[in-house]
Amino acid sequence: MKKILFAFVFAFLSIAGFAQSTWKVDPMHSSVNFNIKHMGISFVQGRFDKFEGTVVTPGKDLDNATFNFNVITGSVNTGVEMRDKHLKSADFFDAEKFQAMKFESGSITKDKNNTYTLKGKLTIKDVTKEISIPVTYGGMTKNQQGKEVLGFQTKFTVNRLDYNIKYDPTGAGVAKDVDVNLYFELVKQ
């Protein structure tokens, strides 16, 4: 009887030790931002107002975590209605046809301190490419409602021409490279 009880307790603790947690993006405390050089002399900043995502963690940090995010292209917002309408057109995101940009992780490697290298597939329009991005892990805590939350941020650059965003292919008016800044807070489900 002791052996059966011991085996049960060992199995339970083994499963509990490897329990995964699913975290969902809190849009009130997250943002998807970009900036791009205009006319070679200034920058246009913008954001996407609608996005969703999950992170699944097997432990108390981002080691071996999986990431899945969707950004709704029709939610692009630069603060100028005419420009936003143009960005939603086939010249840029073709938001009616390609309603979301997607990221799905492949692997994550811990670097030093709270930094990681996240590798995965980024899909914009009809193009999917492998990318590697740096991630700074902010940690885990409890929010005002007592729910567990985790946070991270990343900054990276994407060449828009690689994803069939071909408007002004010379980059003279609208630069080829887009700086992307993501800030995420996620709530444990």
Residue 113 within any structural domain of the chain:
yes
Percent of the chain at pLDDT > 70 equals: 90
Element (H, E) at 6: helix 2-17
Q: Residue 91 has which token pair?
A: 């010249």
- List the beta strands (DSSP E) in the chain: 21-25, 31-38, 42-48, 51-57, 66-72, 76-77, 100-110, 115-124, 127-142, 148-159, 174-188
The CA dihedral of 161, 45, 95, 98, to the nearest 10 degrees, is 50
Looking at the structure of the chain, the number of domains it has is 1
pLDDT at 61: 84
Count CB-CB contacts under 10 A for residue 105: 17
pLDDT at 172: 95
Give the three-state DSSP class for 157.
strand
Question: Quick one: average pLDDT of 164-188?
Answer: 97
Residue 81 within any structural domain of the chain:
yes
- Taking only the tens place, the pLDDT of each residue in 147-171 is 999 999 999 999 999 999 999 999 9
Residue 14 within any structural domain of the chain:
no
Residue 2 within any structural domain of the chain:
no
Which residues make beta-bridge pairs with 110?
116
- Taking only the tens place, the pLDDT of each residue in 130-148 is 999 999 999 999 999 999 9
Which CATH number characterizes residue 150's domain? 2.40.128.110
Its pTM stands at 0.87
Measured CA to CA, the distance from residue 45 to residue 39 in angstroms comes to: 14
Tell me which residue range forms the domain holding 36.
19-188
Residue 84 within any structural domain of the chain:
yes
Give the three-state DSSP class for 30.
coil
Residue 3 within any structural domain of the chain:
no
Number of H helices, E strands in the chain: 2, 11
Residue 148 within any structural domain of the chain:
yes
